[in-house]
Structure formats: structure tokens, C-alpha cells
Amino acid sequence: MQPADSREALLKRDVLLIATVAASLVNGMHFSPYFEPVFILLRPFIAGTLLGTPLVLFYITSIFISLMTLLIAGVPAALYERFRGTPESTAASLGIWLAATLLLALPSVLALPGS
């Protein structure tokens, strides 16, 4: 592979990764339909700790939803890589990851304020 081709492939992978992370962050926002149920479920686990303040719990819930979105959406991409036997992520597997993340984030995108 020539240097220009490898730079183009790396740029494509980076764009797919950034889009995947952005979609998961949208899914963790306060207007997400997943936010309130997860907030209610996390509250008893964090209540007696230093992280039990309402603002910190708000942020922890957002981060938790975003991370769970990335983890759950990564399963189809990991299965694809496993079946293909590729040693590292390709643009196709990152595209699968992005598509699964967008699918999980669809209810949040539809609930965006002003839409």
C-alpha cells in the first residue's frame, strides 16, 4: 500500500470513529428517551457515595448511556471482524459499528428539541 492510500484509509477510519462517538453522545443527552429510566435505575447505586449529588448523577447517567451505546453497537462489528478473520478494524466493520450506533440513537435523534 502506498503512503497516500494508507493516509486515505486512516482518514476514512477516523471519520467513521468520530461519527460513531458523536452518535453515541447524542444518545446520552438529557432529551434521550433512555435518559430518565437509566437515571432512575442508577440513583440507588450512587445514592450513598460522593457521586450522589444531582448534577454529578446527571453527568454519570449521560456518560453511562453513551458508553453502553458504544458497547452494544460494537457487538455486530466485532462479530463481523471475527467471522472475516481480520486482524484489525476495517472501514466496513467501522461502518457496521456506526450503523448500529445510529440505529440505537434513532429514538434520541427523533426526540431532538426543535424537531
Closest C-alpha among 93, 46, 44, 38 to residue 69: 38
Residue 15 lies in a domain: no
pLDDT at 90: 87
Structural domain of residue 88, as residue ranges? 23-110
> Residue 16: inside a domain, yes or no?
no
DSSP 85: T
Q: Considering the domain boundaries, does residue 93 fall inside one?
A: yes
Distance CA 28, CA 45 (A): 19
Is 55 domain-assigned?
yes
At 52, the pLDDT band (50, 70, 90 cuts) reads confident
Q: Is the pLDDT of residue 25 over 60?
A: yes
Output the average pLDDT for the chain. 90
Nearest-CA neighbor of 24 among 111, 101, 96? Answer: 101
- Asked, for residue 106, whether it belongs to a domain, the answer is yes
**Structural domain includes residue 2:** no
Q: In the predicted model, what is the mean pLDDT of residues 64-71?
A: 96
**Is residue 62 situated within a structural domain?**
yes
DSSP state of 33: T
Domain count, the chain: 1
Task: Identify the pLDDT of residue 4.
Answer: 62
Distance CA 8, CA 107 (A): 33
Q: 1: buried, middle or exposed (CB in 10 Å: 19+, 13-18, 0-12)?
A: exposed
